[in-house]
Amino acid sequence: RPDGELPLKGLAVLVTAGPTQEPLDPVRFLTNHSTGKMGYALAEQARDLGAQVTLASGPVALDAPYGVDVVDVTTARDMFDVVTSRFSDTDITVMAAAVGDFRPVGRSGIELELTSNPDILAWAGEHKRPDQTLCGFAMETRDLEANATKKLNGKHCDMLVANNLRTPGAGFAADTNVVTVLTPGETADRPSIERWSKMGKDALAKRILVKLAAMRADGERR
């Protein structure tokens, strides 16, 4: 690429970020500890690398980044609707949201009845065209590489960024992250695995996006 040209210039990037909230009644909800920092860093870095960025954001305490089309959502189903309606116009999709796997459907006495939410990343993997690039995240507490390999393959991702919740400097509230990055390898059970050292979420976001852009330029897709 010519010097000075931005690696994501002319590309549409869709990022999911933050937690989802699943209402239990008019005043209570189920949610998680996601702060949205990683997803917002991805959206800002993608913008700075030249992309047109859409950010599907669950409820977070962060300011909307300038120059990014922010679509606020509450539930997993809201986020699913945003992604499914925009996906075909997207070149690179990065799913950093901590989507609630379940939502309440009813209560009997003190028992709460739950049902499964749609898996947005799995949907995108199923509907992805060969010219589209898909990156998922995974938070693991054990067997990180084995579980992340299953997610990379099972959800048809071009990249999976995994972090261990038990590693110091990784996880939701931190400004840093320590990740293992998986991309498809020679065979499905042997993905290419890179272990990146601890870095700030902005630097990590940029490195992920530059790697995705390089993979597209090399025609490396699954």
137 touching ligand CTP, by CB under 6 A: yes
Q: Determine the interface stretch with ligand CTP among 51-59, 60-68, 130-138, 192-200 (rule: CB under 6 A).
A: 130-138
Which one of 8, 138, 208, 209 is in contact with ligand CTP (CB under 6 A)? 138
Residue-by-residue DSSP string for 120-180:
HHHHHHHH--TT-EEEEEEEESS-HHHHHHHHHHHTT-SEEEEEETTSTT-SSS-SEE-EE
134 touching ligand CTP, by CB under 6 A: no
Largest CA distance in the chain: 66
139 touching ligand CTP, by CB under 6 A: yes
101 touching ligand CTP, by CB under 6 A: yes
Q: How far is the CB of 3 from ligand CTP (least distance, A)?
A: 34
Q: Which is nearer to ligand CTP, 45 or 117 (CB)?
A: 117
121 touching ligand CTP, by CB under 6 A: yes
Cβ contact 26:1 at 8 Å = no
Q: Determine the interface stretch with ligand CTP among 66-74, 132-140, 186-194, 207-215 (rule: CB under 6 A).
A: 132-140
97 touching ligand CTP, by CB under 6 A: yes
Task: Give residue 195's identity as a one-letter amino acid code.
Answer: R
Convert 169-193 to b/e letters by CB count within 10 Å (16 or more is b).
Answer: ebbbebeebbbbbbbbeeeeeebeb
Question: ∠ at Cα 22 (20, 26), nearest 5°?
Answer: 130
Q: Which is nearer to ligand CTP, 16 or 132 (CB)?
A: 16
Task: Give residue 52's identity as a one-letter amino acid code.
Answer: Q
Residues marked active site are found at 32
- Give the residues lining the site for ligand CTP (CB under 6 A): 16, 76, 95, 97, 99, 101, 117, 119-121, 136-139, 151
